[in-house]
Structure 1
Amino acid sequence: MTQRMGFCIGLKPEHIAEYKRLHAAVWPDILRQISASHIRNYTIFLREPENILFGYWEYEGEDFASDMAAMAADPMTQKWWDICMPCQAPLASRGPDEWWARLEEVFHLD
């Protein structure tokens, strides 16, 4: 069963160009890990001048927690996050175990 998931986070203004550059050429190992984690249709949008990132993906696996743990344990993903995370500004209202704040789906049309 496909689960649609949306997330948001702030983006530090001084890192916008770097973040765009990074995501224009995502490392192949990262793309492989995302796919291996059963994530499809992954998209990140940026809203300026508020500098809010909105991420959307569809999860098609059977054990989300396990797939996310495998992604977090991947050495290349850790290196990617080490570069990307300093660019981001987590929302104060995010959950205690969240970096990107998860959004509630309130409407969908296929």
Structure 2
Amino acid sequence: MPRVCFQLQVKRDRIEEYKTRHAAVWPEMVRALYDTGWHNYSLFLRPDGLLIGYFETPVSVADAQAGMAGTEVNARWQAEMAEFFEELEGLAPDEGFLQLEEVFHLEDQLPPDVQEVM
């Protein structure tokens, strides 16, 4: 299953409101994310606004993004969230994030005897 990590920059003066909005994401948005392959999805926010996101998907990243792009709720959510971010250059946040390269995954390097126990 592909693991995806990405970063965005939240505007410093919008950090508290961004956190408030994510404390109660619309139920239809949560359902749409899950239904389109955004699983084990988490967001981490540094005090200076650096946002790191992580999700796993049973489909490709492009398919997960396309699935969400096809939903009405995503269009509404992205329109509301776009104002919170720096340097999107006209892209929606879910299209304008910088995907990070995975360079290490513990389970990929565990010896076979440990993997058998898992």
Q: So what's the TM-score if we normalise by structure 2? A: 0.78
Note the residue ranges of structure 1 that are not aligned, 5 or more in a row: 93-97
- Answering whether residue 19 of structure 2 is matched by residue 20 of structure 1, we say yes
Partner of 1:56 in structure 2?
Answer: 54
How big is each residue's C-alpha offset from its partner over 1:23-70, in whole Å with a ceiling of 9 and x where there is no partner? 000001111111111121100000112x10000000112x54334222
RCO comparison, higher one (Cα < 8 Å, 6+): 1
The 3-state SS of whatever aligns with 1:7 is strand
Percent identity, please: 36
Aligned residue runs from structure 1 range 1-110, under 5 A: 2-49=1-48, 51-61=49-59, 63-90=60-87, 98-110=95-107
The structure with the largest helix share of the pair is 2
Alignment CA distance shift 1:105-1:89 (3 Å): same
* 8 Å Cα contact 2:38-2:57 kept in structure 1: yes
CA RMSD of aligned residues (A): 1.7
**Bigger-Rg structure (1/2):** 2
The 3-state SS of whatever aligns with 2:106 is coil
Number of residue pairs matched by the alignment? 102
Letter in 2 for 1:24: A
Alignment CA distance shift 1:6-1:34 (3 Å): same
